[in-house]
A and B are shown apart, each in its own frame.
Chain A
Amino acid sequence: MENLLEIKNLTVEYHTQGEIVHAVNGLSLNLRQGESLGLVGETGAGKTTTALSILQLVADPPGKIMGGEIFFDGVDLLKTKKSLLRSVRGNKISMIFQDPMTSLNPVYSVGFQIAEVIQLHENCSKEEARRKAEEMLEMVGIPKERYEEYPHQFSGGMKQRVVIAMSVACSPQIILADEPTTALDVTIQAQVLELMNDLKEKLHTSLLLITHDLGVVAQVCDRVAIMYSGEIVEQGTIPEVFDHPAHPYTIGLFGSIPTLSMESTKLTPIEGQMPDPTELPAGCNFSPRCPYARAECHSKKPGVTRIPGEATHELRCFALGWEQPDETLMEVIKRGR
């Protein structure tokens, strides 16, 4: 399968009052046609910034895309003309934002907000756009009679459906979904996820799903990339990463989720905090919290290595290359989850 979206070495910084926040640091990521990729990480890992960078929606100031390439359809979106970028936004790549309560314009009807994007990209008449927008509303399970209603007349879950209808209205090739279910309660979460799964299958759209919920990833995605401090630390197919997590951070993540099969009274959290993004450590970004870290981890940045014997499983860690491996870590990796 060919890569539809290729991010290479993306670096994004936020410049605020004499400080530089290193939000995304040399991130590389591929998304194939029809594939769903989960981008997982804790708050502040740079997931949203990564997605916003693809459409260049990072607020500037304070945000600045410092370097890298984002290829879509053979074109580097970071270097292309504004007009071409606009024809991609909402049309070929669309985005679902985290908070449905604030991502719809309160002074326009939901129908208009959907029809607007259709009319813009499909070069059709107002009536045609309206008809299609009504179709979209129906598709996400909102009766088309509610076309003229305003966002304040909808509940959070309904609003997120409207946002989803808006983002799939032009049958995009890629949907960037930034924690689409975080602001919703659990029952609505399930509905929205199911809806997205359905739409994905119907429209053969690629999906970049940003979340910090590993359960959601397992339910929706084909592949997963684990993000930490602006870098991808581990990525691979769902079975590869979920069954045999290899990066100490990923292992820690799974360790902090309760499981049904294991009886435990206490979870095992990852000790410490994510490093201050204005002052990243000299070595591996995870080294200050890593229980297996050795001297080189604190002084050098690890590169990306493919895990031997696995097709796509990649890791940003020294541990697998050590001449004298850390036995506890190896034990954990081998045992899997």
Chain B
Amino acid sequence: MYKFILKRLFMLIPVLLGVSFIVFTIMSLTPGDPVQLYLGDNYSQEAHDQISEELGLNDPFLIRYAKYVFNALQGDLGNTYSTKRPVTTEIFARFPATVRLAGAALFFAIAVGMPLGIVSAVKQYSLTDNASMLVALLGVSMPNFWLGIMLILLLAANLGIFPASGDAGFKSLVLPAITLSANSLATITRMTRSSMLEIIRQDYIRTARAKGLRESVVVFRHALRNAMIPIITSAGLQFGFALGGAVLVETVFSWPGIGRLLVDAIKLKDTPLVLGLVLVMAVSFTVINLIIDILYAFFDPRVKAQYK
């Protein structure tokens, strides 16, 4: 198991090299002059040349990339062009907010989606089943930003229960988390339902009933654990995406996460910041996938046996 985890972490190296190379290339190929951004509106040609030289922009492409990798290996991702502060400082000022939002959304999606899916499966075609499938349908079809605006209108502007924007404690987390979770909640509900429906027809569920176990034990102990694999897969993927920043939700709620930071950085052609953010996203996505794989082993001994 430890060997497996180590192996997977080593695989991060080629992933990060690949991701950074692709992003670096794209950023170099797109038009726009970062020096202009760095210097502001009024500058002399000399200043321009000097900064270009300082930032190493005059070097050939591969040299620039090699220098970037070399520095990055020592933990230095460079300074941003816009604020001139270290990229790591900028990112870690914003990343916790994203983690909090993504975590809250994931929690909400699982806490509501899984029970809904289980009830739907156990009582297939019942009123509850139809109702939760309707909720799921709404969840996937409503655009995020629209749901966010509606929630702000109703619960913030009209009823004043939650703040409409910003990041100031638990209360301000509620609306963006619900908005962000709508999609994953719907996915998790549907995934739980279909997975449970399949498992509940298995022979070993009949065996469990034949033992005289209560229906609740049959469902939660014998069926749910078997149904977990597709559920954690989709929940993990959703969480990974949310960690990459939810631009729309962050924009609607003025949430200080990395999604907005990235969009701004791309608009300003702030290459070091873009690269830094993409690397952080790649790392978090890979780590989440690793956690999902470890969870597989926890739920299913057959998977665990393969990890040796």
| Smallest CB separation, A63 vs chain B (Å) | 12
Which DSSP category, helix, strand, loop or mixed, fits chain B's interface? helix
Which residues of B lie under 8 Å from residue A107 when comparing CB positions?
225-226, 299-301
Evaluate contact between A116 and B203: CB separation under 8 angstroms.
no
Min CB–CB distance A159 → chain B (angstroms): 11
* Interface bin, chain B: 20 to 34
B204 nearest in chain A by CB position:
A105
- Interface locus among B16-24, B169-177, B208-216: B208-216
Say yes or no: A106 contacts B302, CB within 8 Å: yes
The answer to whether A104 and B212 have CB atoms under 8 Å apart is no
Assess the B226–A89 pair: CB atoms within 8 A: no
Does B67 sit at the interface, judged by CB under 8 A? Answer: no
Q: A268 at the A/B interface (Cβ < 8 Å)?
A: no
Asked if A157 is an interface residue, CB under 8 A from chain B, the answer is no
Name B226's contact: one of A105, A109, A166 (CB within 8 Å): A105
Cα distance, A59 to B210, chains bound together (Å):
12
Determine the chain B residues whose CB is within 8 A of the CB of A88 once the complex forms: 212
B159 beta carbon closer than 8 Å to chain A: no
Q: Does A152 contact B (CB under 8 A)?
A: yes
Cβ 8 A contact of B300, one of A97, A106, A120, A153: A106
Q: How far is the CA of A59 from the CA of B209 in the complex (A)?
A: 11
Contacts of A95 in B (CB 8 A): 210
A36 an interface residue at 8 Å Cβ cutoff? Answer: no
The answer to whether B305 touches A59, judged by C-beta atoms less than 8 angstroms apart, is: no
Whether B212 pairs with A90 at a CB distance below 8 angstroms is yes
How many of A's residues come within 8 Å of B, CB to CB? 30
Given A97-B206, A152-B301, residue A116 in contact with residue B211 (CB < 8 A): yes
* A90 CB contact (under 8 Å) in B203, B211, B299: B211
Query: Smallest CB–CB gap between A45 and chain B, Å?
Result: 20
Contacts of A90 in B (CB 8 A): 210-213
Given the complex, which residues of A lie within 8 Å of B202, measured CB to CB? 102
Chain A residue nearest in CB terms to B202: A102
Docked complex: A222-255 residues within 8 A CB-CB of B: none
Q: Does A7 contact B (CB under 8 A)?
A: no
Q: Is B94 an interface residue (CB 8 A)?
A: no
Contact of A117 among B201, B212, B222 (CB under 8 A): B212
Residue A25 is within 8 A (CB to CB) of chain B in the complex: no
B141 at the interface (CB under 8 A from A): no
Interface centre among B208, B210, B226 (most CB of A within 10 A): B210
A152 to B209, Cβ gap below 8 A?
A: no
B211 contact from A106, A109, A117, A150, Cβ within 8 A: A117
Pairs across A and B, CB under 8 Å, 11 listed: A88-B212, A89-B209, A103-B206, A104-B204, A104-B207, A105-B204, A105-B207, A106-B301, A107-B301, A150-B302, A163-B207
Q: Which 5 A-B pairs have the closest CB atoms?
A: A89-B212, A90-B211, A102-B203, A90-B212, A105-B204
